[in-house]
C-alpha cells in the first residue's frame, strides 16, 4: 500500500486545481551540481546508480532533503531503453552517451529486437518501488521516458546534435523505416511508463527535449501521431502526464494536441504567452532559464518573480527550469528559488 501524500500540490497544479502555494521542482534536480551526488558518483558509474534501487533511491531523495522541492523525479536516464535495443549504449566519462551500433539505414531498424520491458528494464520498477517507500508520502514521485523524436535522434545521430541533419534526412528519405522506428519506440515507451506507474509513480514526464528542432509541419507529419500514441494511453491511466520539449514556442498547440495533462516549456517564450496559446484544459510547467541560477541573486530573484507574475491569477502552474539544471549551478541558489516560489505564492 502506498502511503497518502503529505504534499500533493504538484499533482493538484497538474490537474489545474487550486493550490496552497505554487509547486516547484527542477529537471535534473539530482546530479553533479550537488556534492552529495558527486560523492556517490565517485564510486559508481551512472549506469550502476540507475541499476541499483538503493543508490537510485538515495540520489532521488537528495534534492528532496536538501531543497524542499514539491516532487521527486526518478533517478534514471532517458537512454536506458536503448540498452535492450542492442545498440551498444555507453556513457563515456565526460563525453556523454555513445552507441556502438547507431541506426544508419532502414535495415538497422529491422534488426532492432522486440524485448520485454518487465524483464529488461524491471530494475527501474524496482527503483520506483524503493523510492516510493523511502519518500513515505512526503512528495509525489515523477517517472519519465524520452519522447519519440529525441530518442530517435540519439539512435541516429549517435549523441547530441546541433542541426539533427541525419535524423531529419532519415525521416524524409526513409519514411517507412522512420514509421517503423517510431512505432517500436511507441510500444517500448508506453510499456515502460505503464510499468513505472504500476510500480507507484504518481505522474510521468515525456522528455521530447529536442523536438523544437523540427518545422511545425514536419512535427505534425512525422512525430505528432506517435507522440499521441504514447500520451493518450498514459493520460487514460489517470496520473498527470507532463509533455516537455525545448524551443517549442512556435508549435505549442501541436504539442498540446499530441497530448499531456501539462505542457512543459523553456524560457524562450514568455510564460504568459504560453498559457494564452495553450488555453484552458492543460497546465503549464516552466520556465526559468537555468543559467539565471548562475547569476547574481538579485537578478535571479527578479527572473523568478517574472515567471510567477506571468502565471499570476491562473491555475495550473508548475514552477520549473526551462531545461535541466547545469552542473556548475550553486546549490544555494536552487534552494533559494524553492523558498522564494513558496513565499511569493503562499495563500
* Residue 3 touches ligand CP3, criterion: CB under 6 A: no
C-alpha to C-alpha distance for 211 and 148, rounded to whole angstroms: 9
Four-residue CA torsion sign, 125, 127, 128, 134: positive
C-alpha to C-alpha distance for 57 and 27, rounded to whole angstroms: 17
Residue 297 is among the residues annotated as catalytic for this protein = no
Question: If binding means CB under 6 A, how many residues of this protein chain bind ligand CP3?
Answer: 21
Residue 28 is among the residues annotated as catalytic for this protein = yes
Q: Which is nearer to ligand CP3, 16 or 70 (CB)?
A: 70
**Least distance to ligand CP3, CB of residue 327, Å:** 7
* Residue 33 touches ligand CP3, criterion: CB under 6 A: no
The partner residues of 42 in beta bridges, in order of sequence, read none
Which region among 26-34, 119-127, 266-274, 280-288 touches ligand CP3 (by CB under 6 A)? 26-34
Instruction: Tell me the three cell numbers of residue 36.
Output: 552529495
Q: Identify whether the C-beta of residue 10 lies closer than 8 Å to the C-beta of residue 70.
A: yes
Residue 77 is among the residues annotated as catalytic for this protein = yes
Residue 192 is among the residues annotated as catalytic for this protein = no
Q: Which is nearer to ligand CP3, 4 or 94 (CB)?
A: 94
Smallest CA-to-CA distance from 151 within 122, 123, 190 is with 190
Smallest CA-to-CA distance from 219 within 159, 277, 150 is with 150
The DSSP output letter for 327 is T
Residue nearest to ligand CP3 (CB): 209
Fill in the per-residue mask, 147 to 166: x = in contact with ligand CP3 (CB under 6 A), - = not in contact. Answer: -------------x------
**Least distance to ligand CP3, CB of residue 300, Å:** 20
* Residue 28 touches ligand CP3, criterion: CB under 6 A: yes
Indicate which single residue of 31, 84, 240, 259 sits in contact with ligand CP3 (rule: CB under 6 A).
31
Count of residues making up the chain: 347
Indicate which single residue of 14, 73, 181, 340 sits in contact with ligand CP3 (rule: CB under 6 A).
73
Indicate which single residue of 167, 209, 261, 329 sits in contact with ligand CP3 (rule: CB under 6 A).
209
Kindly name the residue from 15, 32, 221, 268 that is annotated as catalytic.
Answer: 32
Instruction: Tell me the three cell numbers of residue 309.
Output: 507574475
Q: Is 267 helix (H, G, I), strand (E, B) or coil?
A: coil
Indicate which single residue of 11, 24, 30, 239 sits in contact with ligand CP3 (rule: CB under 6 A).
30
Angle between helices 165-173 and 175-199 (to 10 degrees): 110
Indicate which single residue of 24, 67, 69, 79 sits in contact with ligand CP3 (rule: CB under 6 A).
79
Which region among 9-17, 70-78, 226-234, 253-261 touches ligand CP3 (by CB under 6 A)? 70-78
**Least distance to ligand CP3, CB of residue 232, Å:** 22
- The CA-to-CA distance between both ends of the chain, in Å, stands at 32
Kindly name the residue from 8, 70, 77, 266 that is annotated as catalytic.
Answer: 77
Strands 72-73 and 262-264: unpaired
**Least distance to ligand CP3, CB of residue 338, Å:** 15
Indicate which single residue of 5, 21, 36, 41 sits in contact with ligand CP3 (rule: CB under 6 A).
41
Q: What is the 3 state secondary structure string of 49-89?
A: HHHCHHHHHHHHHHHHHHHCCCCEECCCCCCHHHCCCCCCE
Smallest CA-to-CA distance from 319 within 291, 342, 299, 297 is with 342
* Residue 97 touches ligand CP3, criterion: CB under 6 A: yes
* Residue 137 touches ligand CP3, criterion: CB under 6 A: no
CB-based burial, 62-91: b 16+ in 10 Å, e otherwise:
bbbebbebbbbbbbbbbbbbbbbbebebee
Which region among 27-35, 184-192, 312-320, 339-347 touches ligand CP3 (by CB under 6 A)? 27-35
Strands 317-321 and 283-288: parallel
Q: Is 91 helix (H, G, I), strand (E, B) or coil?
A: strand
Residues that bind ligand CP3 (CB under 6 A): 27-32, 41, 46, 73, 75, 77-79, 91, 96-97, 144, 160, 207, 209, 324
| Residues known to be catalytic | 28, 32, 41, 77, 154
Amino acid at each position: 500500500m502506498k502511503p497518502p501524500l503529505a504534499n500533493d500540490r504538484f499533482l493538484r497544479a497538474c490537474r489545474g486545481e487550486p493550490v496552497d502555494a505554487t509547486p516547484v521542482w527542477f529537471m535534473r534536480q539530482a546530479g553533479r551540481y550537488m556534492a552529495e551526488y558527486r560523492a556517490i558518483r565517485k564510486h559508481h558509474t551512472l549506469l550502476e546508480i540507475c541499476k541499483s534501487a538503493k543508490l537510485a533511491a538515495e540520489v532521488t531523495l537528495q534534492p528532496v532533503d536538501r531543497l524542499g522541492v514539491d516532487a521527486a523525479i526518478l533517478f534514471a536516464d532517458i537512454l536506458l531503453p536503448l540498452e535492450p535495443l542492442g545498440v551498444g549504449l555507453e556513457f563515456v566519462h565526460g563525453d556523454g552517451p555513445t552507441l556502438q551500433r547507431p541506426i544508419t539505414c532502414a535495415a538497422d531498424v529491422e534488426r532492432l529486437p522486440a524485448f520485454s520491458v518487465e524483464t529488461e528494464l524491471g530494475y527501474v520498477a524496482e527503483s520506483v518501488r524503493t523510492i516510493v517507500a523511502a519518500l513515505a508520502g512526503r512528495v509525489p514521485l515523477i517517472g519519465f521516458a524520452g519522447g519519440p523524436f529525441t530518442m530517435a535522434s540519439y539512435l541516429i545521430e549517435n549523441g547530441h546534435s546541433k542541426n539533427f541533419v541525419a535524423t531529419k534526412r532519415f525521416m524524409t528519405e526513409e519514411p517507412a523505416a522512420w514509421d517503423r522506428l517510431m512505432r517500436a519506440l511507441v510500444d517500448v515507451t508506453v510499456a515502460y511508463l505503464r510499468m513505472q506507474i504500476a510500480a507507484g509513480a504518481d505522474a510521468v514526464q515525456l522528455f521530447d527535449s529536442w523536438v523544437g528542432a523540427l518545422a511545425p509541419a514536419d512535427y505534425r507529419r512525422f512525430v505528432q501521431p506517435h507522440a499521441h500514441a504514447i500520451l493518450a494511453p498514459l493520460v487514460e491511466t489517470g496520473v498527470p502526464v507532463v509533455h516537455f520539449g525545448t524551443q517549442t514556442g512556435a508549435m505549442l498547440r501541436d504539442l498540446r494536441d499530441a497530448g499531456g495533462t501539462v505542457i512543459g516549456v523553456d524560457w524562450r517564450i514568455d510564460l504568459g504567452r504560453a498559457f494564452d496559446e495553450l488555453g484552458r484544459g492543460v497546465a503549464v510547467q516552466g520556465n526559468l532559464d537555468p543559467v539565471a541560477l548562475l547569476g547574481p541573486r538579485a537578478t535571479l530573484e527578479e527572473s523568478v518573480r517574472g515567471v510567477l507574475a506571468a502565471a499570476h491569477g491562473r491555475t495550473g502552474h508548475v514552477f520549473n527550469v526551462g531545461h535541466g539544471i547545469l552542473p556548475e549551478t550553486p546549490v544555494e541558489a536552487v534552494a533559494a528559488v524553492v523558498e522564494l516560489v513558496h513565499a511569493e505564492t503562499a495563500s
